[in-house]
A and B are shown apart, each in its own frame.
Chain A
Amino acid sequence: MPIRHSACSPISSTSSPATADADRLVDNLPPVDADSTDPTALTDDSGEVAAQLPVAPTFGPDNAEPDVVIALEDVVAVLGNFPALAGVSLTVQRGEIVLLKGPNGAGKTTLLRLCAGLLPVERGAASILGFDLVTQRQLVRPHVGLLGHQNGLYLDLSVRENVEFWGRTVGASAQEIASAMSRMGVAERLADVPVRKLSAGQKRRTSLACLVARRAQVWLLDEPHAGLDAAGRDELDATLGQAARSGATILVASHELERAGGLATRSVEVVAGQVVTDTNEPRGSE
């Protein structure tokens, strides 16, 4: 698989195709029905189940190969002196939900951090949304969202203040911020509650609202179901499924194969820093 190396100029936060796609992504996400137990039951403001949403168009700073969002070829990444990724090759298309599975220490989290632009590529070729991870690692960051074991929230601030803060760092309007909160089901009774007082699931939803508000197009999720009860997991799955249908690309690292496998459109097994199996699996809920 050839790796696309972008020859574009640095993007601006207001005019790039990537940002335009992100705006559309935010607008297209319907709200989560917090009371629903059906992972795919997403409703609009009137309570009706939302129709299949249009897929956001072209990603990336150029349009040469728009559907390939993540392209890694023989990538090596080192933690200290240890090669945590030892020649990973992986291609992910726009709108896919890819489950990364594998034993502890296999390199799943490292792979997510590499895709987020947090780790340098020691060897090989890698691009995210058309940005070369070798030379443009900083530029890819505004377009990806990494949700790890922590939520990246300010515990003394309210839900609204957190989403506003993260949205405004990328110049999101008040309407976009309100829309993101509404679509993640944290707009009304939770809006003014300090994050410290939220349940684990509510914190996750707030964190996802922050990702939407700051227009992340690639969602990198590390054990997203950890600490959530059944209802919280359903809400999370509903959110991710709808985000993918709206054009977001999602990588999920998880040990909960039954849960995450039902959500994923594809499953990739990582062992000892390498992709050992890569299978397309039917969506479990469909």
Chain B
Amino acid sequence: MNTVAVARLIAAKDLRVERRSKIVTNQVLPFAGITMVSFAFALDKQNVLDTVAPGLVWLATMFSLLIIVQRTFAIETDDGALDAMRVAGVDPRAIFMGKAMALGVQLLVLEAMLFGAAVIFYGESIPSEHAVASVVLLVTTMLSATCGLAAVGTLYGGLAAGFKGSETLLPLLTLPAVAPVLIGATKAVESAVGTSGAVVSEGWQWVGLLTVFAVAAVVGGALAFGPLIDD
């Protein structure tokens, strides 16, 4: 089978495991929701929340990303399946792409829920005068940021899976690496929702940054994943 077909097989397998175990729906989504509510309690001023809401959404996404990545590699290491894939000669690029695709799907669901939570808890809204342009910018930002996050998360998740203490190693590796996504996505969403007078057109340069980051992370991850998980 070619690399893309095997990647799709691995992605489908990961999503099926998640559908059975319901770890993301029963644990990660509630965790992200509680994080959003906690931010609201901690800041407790509507004008502050209006300003920082886009950043809080992406911060909650980053924290939740760590849990999902640990889960996605736990299913590979619980019974030695990642080793078995190496022994079976499965193309490491296919493993990387498949796991990143499944992670991306889960992240998109998470982000949609978090933006919904921002509307409910923080009173965020799309400016009515540029609604279409804002929604397009918002969706594009989510897609490009998700690609970058999924690629980096998969790369470092695979690396950390081979080490003892991976639970603490993963955040140390991942959070600094995804800082450009946190900055770019926050700025782009601020433009989409008009935070502090930002306009939609200002957001596209940040989408450009997110896209470059995503391409670099996907290409670099696909190339590096094999050597990282191999002996």
Binding site for B on A (CB under 8 A): 13, 116-120, 138-146, 148-157, 161, 165-166, 168-171, 194-195, 210, 214
> Which residues in B have their C-beta under 8 angstroms from that of A195?
79
The reply to whether A156 and B20 contact each other, CB–CB distance below 8 Å, is yes
Q: Is B231 an interface residue (CB 8 A)?
A: yes
Given the complex, which residues of B lie within 8 Å of A120, measured CB to CB?
Answer: 231
A157's contact among B1, B17, B89, by CB below 8 Å, is which?
B17
- B88 close to A170 (CB less than 8 A): yes
- Count A/B pairs, Cβ under 8 Å: 80
Chain A residues near B75 (CB, 8 Å)? 154-156
Q: Are the CB atoms of A145 and B87 closer together than 8 Å?
A: yes
Beyond A165-B9, A168-B1, A171-B1, whether A157 also contacts B87 by CB under 8 A is no
On chain A, the residues within 8 Å of B1 by CB distance are 13, 168-171
Question: Are A154 and B17 within 8 A (Cβ)?
Answer: yes
Q: How far is the CB of B152 from chain A (nearest CB, A)?
A: 24
**Which residue of A142, A156, A161, A168 is within 8 Å of B89 (Cβ)?**
A142
What count of chain B residues pass the 8 Å CB interface test? Answer: 22
Contact digits for B71-87, partner A, Cβ 8 Å, 1 yes 0 no: 00001001111011111
| A118-B231, A150-B79 known; A156-B13 Cβ under 8 A | no
A-B contact sample (8 more), CB < 8 A, given A118-B83, A141-B86:
A13-B1, A116-B87, A141-B87, A150-B83, A156-B17, A161-B13, A166-B84, A169-B85
Q: What residues of chain B have their CB less than 8 Å away from a CB belonging to chain A?
A: 1, 6, 9, 13, 16-17, 20-21, 75, 78-81, 83-90, 231
A to B CB contacts below 8 Å, 16 in the list: A13-B1, A119-B231, A139-B89, A141-B89, A142-B89, A150-B79, A152-B87, A154-B75, A154-B79, A155-B75, A155-B78, A157-B16, A169-B85, A170-B1, A171-B1, A214-B88
A156 touches B21 (CB 8 A): yes
The reply to whether B13 and A165 contact each other, CB–CB distance below 8 Å, is: yes
- CB of A169 within 8 A of CB of B90, answer yes
Q: Which residues of A contact B231 (CB under 8 A)?
A: 118-120
Q: Could you tell me the distance between the alpha carbons of A35 and B21 in the complex, rounded to whole angstroms? A: 32
CA distance A234 to B89 in the complex (A): 30
Which of B13, B16, B17, B81 makes the CB contact (< 8 A) with A152? Answer: B81
A110 to chain B minimum Cβ distance, whole angstroms, is: 11
